[in-house]
Copies of this chain bind each other. A is one copy, B any other.
Amino acid sequence: MTRFVGSLLWRNLRVYQIYGANTDVGKTVFTTALCKAARRLYRDELTGYLKPVSTGPGHEADEHHITKYTQGVLSATLHQYDLAISPHAAAVGKAIPKDADLLSSIYSHLVQAAGSGNTSPDGWFFIETAGGVHSPGPSGTSQAELYRPLRCPVLLVGDGKLGGISTTISAFEALTLRGYDVEAVLLFEDDLYRNAEYLRTYFSDRHRGVSVVSVPAPPSKNEASIKGRDEEDEDAESMRRYYDETSHSDAVQGLLAHLEGRHSARVARLESLASEGHNKIWWPFTQQKLLSPDKITAIDSAHGDFFQTLRPPNLPEENQKRSSSEKEPLLQASFDGSASWWTQGLGHANSSLTLAAAYASGRYGHVMFAEAIHEPALALAETLLQGMHRSDYYSSRLSRVFYSDDGSTGVETALKMALRAARRRYGWPVDSKLGIIGLEGAYHGDTIGAMDCADPSAYNEKVEWYEGKGVWFRPPRVICRGGTWHIDVPAEFDAGGEEASGEAKLHSAFESLTHVFDFRKREGRGEHLIYEAHVESVLRHHLDKGRRFGALLMEPVVLGAGGMVLVDPLFQRALVNVVRRSQHLFSPEAVAPPTTDETDWTGLPVIFDEVFTGLYRLGRFTASSFLGLGADVSVHAKLLTGGLVPLCATLASESIFRAFASDDKTDALLHGHSYTAHPVGCQVALESLRQMRDMESSGRWAPFQSGWVIESDNDDADAVAGRSNRAPEHGCWSIWSRKTVNWLSHRPSVAGVWTLGSVLAIHLATSPGGGGYTSMAAVALRDALRATNRGEAQNPWNVHSRVLGNVLYLMGSQTTGPEVVREMEELLKRHLR
């Protein structure tokens, strides 16, 4: 039994799922007619029928109806419940298959049928659902949700009766918003209601790919409730005639031809996506000269943690007979190991996010935001501000929300805010060359202003208008090697640091990551004094050279795109603390204003770029909580919308906001995008934050957290697991297991490894000088993970991951379950022996 099923697609086996607009609309009748027509028109091919879940008396099961009226259909029923009610109710007290197991049985059944013996794999396969689209399956999950990972094209049997226009369109929409392709709507003709006529126009106006096919209704059965054999024979005979006529009809034959054409077109298009894209697309961050079409991943759909990707054609050395490769499925499940460039938090195709987006679209579309307000924008602002305030770790200064479209524009906004606040307070002229204080290896986005906030690197040094505007501290890094957590401190810290701080000494090895974050102990030992002394000496040096700074900008805890570097949080604390208490290092001549309120910024405004690290990526709402202090401006994107649409929120304190207050309009923050605070994004973000906070409060992550409890320290254990009132001020946990991290940290091929929240970063050992963005060191591991497991040709799945120089990282979403993570860990271990 495979755990990660692919969508059902073969080159020549055309698989459809039959859904109904309601119960009793004729799914089985249409399926029988289709099977009969397929048997006649495609005599040499397979015709298959599957009823995954059947309810009602076994002898009346739909499968029997099919076989009674057609010959040569490969038919099966997987689960039979004898009560004629909804499967979830009929299954009560019976063996209830789990959703995943039900999918696996269907998948295996199809794989077997497609590859069975000498039978040609060409043909037709119809999978009939029970009741309507949202009728619950045995577990209670709506069928439209339950079967979605298989994403078969759908034949929707509509309702020809009074009210049937409505239920048919609603059912179509329920399927469409779950990403199904409805190929055709089938329904019985009715001279009075003429639903078919209406629906034909409706669908051709709006959804051109959907054909509406109608046939006469079947003959009504003899009404007598207890029938003699004669009546039964009569019924059967008239049904037989009906099927003969119907399966011969232009409507049904035309439908099969239509479907065959659509299927071929779908396969051909899917197989040409990579090469067409190769000719027309300009990919981000990609050297296309080095990219051949076979390296491009064609994504047919996605669900949960997995893409459905086109399997690469067989390699020459595995040259098999055509017939065998034709039997193999075209798609495979691919674990989305970069969480779709760090955006994906709640599973692909999460229907609650879809419905949130659709609701906002249906209620507003986009509405202009300047000097206007709408509910989702305000509610999201409140949720974000409250989320930052709720922290037990520090007191938030943030009280204002500015919306933009992505992390890069959000950082530019933050920068404009902070620079203006500093310039205004210190009375610097507008043309002052204001720099920022940042970290070496930082990354804040790709627009010029955001690029200028990072030190020169492979990312930016060849970009024409790039001009790094700052001073960059090389940060001490945390990494696990040989089971121990080390802090690698750059050499320059030795210079002034230790003497200035007297007795203090930096500890460089820790038993656990949680100990690294134990500021109480570390500051008790005075370790921060070394960092603070270094920071002060560097800043004084720049002051002496006449440089001016307008902000401290950094990614708290982790430098993401800059190479997946876990920064010593004690250093970031020290940096912030020095900047906040040291106006004399920035504007010695200025008189410090009386601080009217404790949320006022001092020294310089501090910006946290939480685009990558925030919103539960590292296990907590805000990454700043790991540092135990909050920013004056903070930037939030990526997980904000759970992996659906772009949106960014820049949060600021009132003290920053006030710097723009003036009687002159042009003193305002002159920044704004057309789609600022677009309702779809705000509504999706609200739903996304709701789901993540629910997961946090409901203990959804407890199975992961329990593995990270430090046994010798019960306080911490309770805190991590949320069982204690005490703030878990240095509790760290990850979805990746401690055991695996420990194992990895002992591999000779691994230079070091760290994990936190959903991130696992494996720094691979390289030859000296071979690291950095341009390194190809981790590529081999990535390719190995991506290669289909050829041992399971019928059941393939793989891992789609990304590398950053010599780092291969794997990142789950916030909904990734233990069973998936463990599987990925096993795979990693297989390739890193």
Contact = CB atoms under 8 A, between A and B. Distances in A.
A373 B298 contact: yes
Interface string A408-430: 11001001100110010000001
A720 interface: no
Given A281-B402, A434-B465, 18 more contacts: A21-B167, A22-B22, A86-B162, A86-B163, A279-B399, A280-B378, A280-B401, A282-B401, A282-B650, A288-B668, A299-B367, A351-B362, A366-B644, A405-B646, A430-B464, A447-B447, A459-B670, A666-B774
Interface string A537-559: 00000000000001000000000
A678 B822 CA distance: 29
Interface string A459-470: 111111100010
Nearest to A168: B134
Contact of A193 (B85, B180, B284, B343): B85
19 contacts: A167-B167, A169-B174, A170-B170, A179-B364, A280-B382, A282-B650, A284-B370, A284-B403, A286-B371, A288-B660, A296-B371, A296-B372, A298-B374, A336-B368, A357-B358, A416-B463, A420-B464, A446-B672, A666-B774
Contacts of A420: 464
- Interface-centre pick from A340, A365, A403 (highest chain B CB count, 10 A): A365
A163 B22 contact: yes
Interface string A645-659: 110001010000100
A131 B361 contact: no
A341 B460 CA distance: 32
A194 interface: yes
Considering the complex of A and B, which 9 residue pairs feature the smallest CB-CB distances, nearest first?
A284-B672, A132-B166, A179-B363, A448-B449, A23-B163, A179-B362, A170-B170, A277-B373, A177-B358
A350 interface: yes
A285 B672 contact: yes
Contact of A774 (B366, B661, B665): B665
A238 interface: no
Contact of A366 (B132, B168, B340, B675): B340
B277 A179 contact: no
Contacts of A300: 374-375
A53 interface: no
A810 interface: no
A169 B295 CA distance: 42
A302 B372 CA distance: 13
Interface in A451-479: 452, 458-465, 469
Interface stretch (A104-112, A268-276, A521-529, A582-590): A268-276
Contacts of A368: 336, 338, 340-341, 343, 800, 802
A200 interface: no
Contacts of A652: 282
A360 B676 CA distance: 22
Contacts of A663: 289-290
A142 interface: yes
B193 A89 contact: yes
B458 A666 contact: yes
A369 interface: yes
A508 interface: no
A673 to B, nearest CB: 5
A223 interface: no
Nearest to A205: B352
Given A281-B401, A287-B662, A357-B361, A132 B170 contact: yes
B198 A169 contact: no
Contacts of A364: 179, 299, 301-302, 348-349
B378 A276 contact: yes
Contacts of A132: 163, 165-167, 170
Given A277-B373, A287-B662, A357-B361, A174 B178 contact: no
A226 interface: no
Interface residues of A, number: 176
A766 to B, nearest CB: 16
Nearest to A458: B666
A825 B92 CA distance: 66
B349 A353 contact: no
Contacts of A370: 283-286, 341, 802
Contacts of A674: 340-343, 406-407, 637-638, 646
A307 interface: yes
Given A359-B177, A361-B354, A375 B338 contact: no
A162 B87 CA distance: 11
A681 interface: yes
A358 B375 CA distance: 21
Contact of A680 (B299, B432, B645, B671): B645
A131 B163 contact: yes
A297 B301 CA distance: 40
A657 B284 CA distance: 12
A133 interface: yes
A781 interface: no
Contact of A462 (B206, B350, B666): B666
Contact of A284 (B280, B367, B646, B671): B671
A278 to B, nearest CB: 8
A381 interface: yes
A792 interface: no
Nearest to A418: B464
Question: Which of A353, A409, A450, A638 lies at the interface centre, i.e. has the most chain B CB atoms within 10 A of its CB?
Answer: A409
Given A378-B280, A680-B644, A349 B373 contact: no
Contacts of A341: 368-370, 674-676
Contact of A169 (B142, B462, B645): B142
Interface in A1-59: 21-24
B336 A349 contact: no
Contacts of A445: 673
Contacts of A393: none
Given A296-B371, A378-B273, A165 B193 contact: no
Contact of A177 (B131, B336, B362, B377): B362
A721 to B, nearest CB: 24
A664 interface: yes
A402 to B, nearest CB: 4
Contacts of A89: 193-194
A736 to B, nearest CB: 20
A550 B360 CA distance: 42
Contacts of A667: 287, 462
A681 B176 CA distance: 16
